[in-house]
Amino acid sequence: MKAARPHDDAMVELLREDPAFADEYLAAALEEADEPGGRQCLLRALRHVAQAQGMEEVAERAGLRRESLYRALSPKGNPTLETLLAVLSAAGLRLAVARREEHPA
């Protein structure tokens, strides 16, 4: 039987094995960002993607210091829009906007 491992480690490994999964993973996290706890989940998802690609490499491509990237993507992080866009770009992704689906009353 395989030993249990932390969720964060499993997600990073999955993202390393399937880099295209990052698109779906971050899109789902972004959709839930306005829900309670959603902002922290989005930061966690972005951190997982950056860890899967290598934090130092992502920080370098984003033009950030590695420590700044860790801080921005920490559970209490509050990255600026500039930092968010730079990290997404460095990870080979971009932010997209879509209209919310209206729910009938």
Examine the pLDDT at 105 and tell me if it is beyond 70.
no
Q: pLDDT (tens digit, 9 = 90+) per residue, 2-35?
A: 677 898 999 999 999 998 899 899 989 988 888 9
Q: How far apart, in whole angstroms, are the C-alpha atoms of residue 29 and residue 52?
A: 17
Candidates 33, 36, 17; CA nearest to 98 is 33
pTM for this one? Answer: 0.84
Radius of gyration of the chain (CA): 14
Q: pLDDT (tens digit, 9 = 90+) per residue, 43-93?
A: 999 999 999 999 999 999 999 999 999 999 998 899 999 999 999 999 888
Q: How far apart, in whole angstroms, are the C-alpha atoms of residue 1 and residue 19?
A: 27
